[in-house]
Structure 1
């Protein structure tokens, strides 16, 4: 587990097939040109009249509880007030901001359960009677920093340099999502096109950054690209045929109405981006599997490598499919509970747009994965058998090196 990672040697870099680079180079240039074309240049500040509610941070110094005069529909903290010491920012536009406020204890669906000493988030409402604060959430910045820190330490301790490169790839993914994909969609670019371009940029950058400039990485990139293209086409066909709008809850409705985003395109973009994370896992695994098989038995031909690699791929797909379905079911579990509770027939549950949307996500992603296995395995078998030095750095037994 903790052994030294073998970096690709010079022969592995040289022996990456020229045809693969002839395919990848135009794709990389086209991706770069598309990013430049789609890069948002407009001001993405909220539309006039839609500025966000002012939020403040504070700490609860005392809680005074009182007897409720009427029954609460969703009692979380009971009746009473919390004395909150507010953190007033230096750029606060108010002339005389208060530093301490008595705030009603929060109750209702989703209200945070509070106690003395808790660090909380409050919103400020302007009323005819003056300013009014309300506790809406807990501060969790410190906890998240500790959690992320533990994640980074675990990755570095276990993966060593491979873990560091994986973290760098993760950073690139977040940068592209937050600074290109999301702003470009908000700027009015077609969500599906943005998702395809962003996914290609993530794939080309992260796979090589994480796994090096080896032939197996090039094979994985080509397999991922082909499977991702198929996934995009299938998702567009399924969403159109089933008349899915992408509007299934208040959040998607708000994105469509307030931001003017095409929700159907946003659904397609989500399917493509979500599929990429699983696709690159499968393609990298298949390419590496074929490489290890070729290294372990240099006598294997391309057909034997393909057959043996496909057996591993089938087992991988069987487990990944269940992962995909459970991931989508978990994310939609609250909505699924509501639909099942209010629908008597099984057919009514399955054909509801919310469930149909998740079915499309799962099925389309699975079809893309199924296609990725033979595509990547076949390409890896041909490439690694045709160029034995990409496997071992030396000619395999019985082979002739040009």
Structure 2
């Protein structure tokens, strides 16, 4: 593997084969360490707990159907459920549907009925038929496969058209990420391995593949990669410390409790720390690549500038990027938790009180730790990029030498 690049990136410096060779050795060493870590943490298939699939019990299955009729009726839903819990008031609905083999019918609660269901909708139903009894059906969900596939195709086409080969390679990187998550990281955590160790090793391996795929093999990309490694390490350490300091147990929702019941040996507190590393990878990657690119462009524009001047200029760019990236993290959480935030507002509960609960506190800590790791990664990446970029040229060299398309 050589640190060369086939793009038209311009660098005013001289070729640096020694630096390129040293970086190759360092990257290969880190990659080897990540591979060894994955081998050590790789779970045996028989050690991965498997809970009972509620739709695979005897007499229970899922079937596809199409809605053929919807009829509302009064089901005495007055807005209060068991234990005086609020429920959606209004009518229920009798829904009929057709499957490949039979006719089906089920009752829909007021909440789902008000959300919307119409004749012609494609749905999935739970079919329940105990031995010797007639089959009954329950609504499971709408079928969304085709729309989601269409959106994915549109996304992939646009990325390929706008970003070209780099866009295509980034799509391959998404596939690599999903593969690492589903085949290594999630099973390893379920098998009882340290969630944080799995997250760090898996994230390191993912970033090595993704960055070089999307941005090419070059010294510039390597500087961004080293900055990303620093961000991963800092986020992991801060996440581990903050999880213990804030007493985040990882048990905040019914899903968390169901997971704990299914996998009793799983360290949910460790999972919280692991998610702090994984959740911030995308923004961290964005920031480190941008900072490395900024340093290289500044060096090309100001070949005689000292390293301190280039660092200061790149950090001005980095400060703007930090501000926008922090907003990105906050808005991403606000958008994903909008239902919870609306419910809090409707209940008129004090925000300071809600913020300290387990489920909301997890998200706040995850956002803050990710932001801290991101902020610290900016000066680290910038400094590494400045050191690895070309040395400043003398004024007479700048006049004599034209830009050369050499390895970045």
TM bin, normalised by shorter chain, reads 0.7 to 0.9
The equivalent residue for 1:125 is 128
Asked if the contact 1:63–1:81 (Cα under 8 Å) also holds between the matched residues in 2, the reply is yes
RMSD (CA atoms): 2.9
Asked if the contact 1:16–1:214 (Cα under 8 Å) also holds between the matched residues in 2, the reply is no
Match of 1:232 among 236, 252, 266: 236
Shift of 1:13: 8.3
* Change in CA separation of 1:117 and 1:283 when aligned onto 2, cut-off 3 Å: same
Distance 2:375 2:22 in 1: 25
TM-score by length of 1: 0.85
Match of 1:116 among 103, 116, 119: 119
Deviations 1:77-109 (A, max 9, x none): 743231x2224xxxxxxxxxxx12231242244
For residue 127 of structure 2, give the secondary structure of its aligned residue in structure 1. strand
Match of 1:323 among 305, 328, 338: 328
Shift of 1:192: 1.1
The equivalent residue for 2:159 is 155
For residue 300 of structure 1, give the secondary structure of its aligned residue in structure 2. coil
Shift of 1:188: 2.0
Establish whether residue 85 from structure 1 lines up as the match of residue 98 from structure 2.
Answer: yes
Higher relative contact order (CA 8 A, sep 6+): 2
Q: How does 1:3-402 map to 2 (within 5 A)?
A: 6=8, 14=17, 16-43=19-46, 44=48, 46-47=50-51, 52=56, 54-60=61-67, 62-63=68-69, 65=71, 67-68=73-74, 70-71=76-77, 73=79, 74=88, 78-82=92-96, 84-87=97-100, 99-110=101-112, 113-126=116-129, 129-260=133-264, 261-342=266-347, 344-386=349-391
* Change in CA separation of 1:346 and 1:51 when aligned onto 2, cut-off 3 Å: closer
Asked if the contact 2:299–2:310 (Cα under 8 Å) also holds between the matched residues in 1, the reply is yes
Shift of 1:198: 0.8
Distance 1:215 1:107 in 2: 60
Deviations 1:28-54 (A, max 9, x none): 111001111222222447346866452
Asked if the contact 1:7–1:212 (Cα under 8 Å) also holds between the matched residues in 2, the reply is no
Count of aligned pairs between the two proteins? 376
* Greater mean deviation of Cα atoms: 119-128 or 44-53: 44-53
* Change in CA separation of 1:194 and 1:76 when aligned onto 2, cut-off 3 Å: farther
For residue 45 of structure 2, give the secondary structure of its aligned residue in structure 1. coil
Asked if the contact 2:185–2:198 (Cα under 8 Å) also holds between the matched residues in 1, the reply is yes
Shift of 1:190: 1.6
Shift of 1:258: 1.3
TM-score by length of 2: 0.84
Asked if the contact 1:15–1:215 (Cα under 8 Å) also holds between the matched residues in 2, the reply is no
Shift of 1:317: 0.2
Deviations 1:349-392 (A, max 9, x none): 3322333222211211111111111111111111113498xxxx
* Change in CA separation of 1:25 and 1:285 when aligned onto 2, cut-off 3 Å: same
* Change in CA separation of 1:347 and 1:65 when aligned onto 2, cut-off 3 Å: closer
Shift of 1:240: 0.3
Shift of 1:341: 4.5
Shift of 1:319: 0.6
Asked if the contact 2:77–2:90 (Cα under 8 Å) also holds between the matched residues in 1, the reply is no
Deviations 1:57-88 (A, max 9, x none): 1122x215264364475368743231x2224x
Structure 1: 5+ residue runs without aligned partners? 88-98, 389-394, 398-402
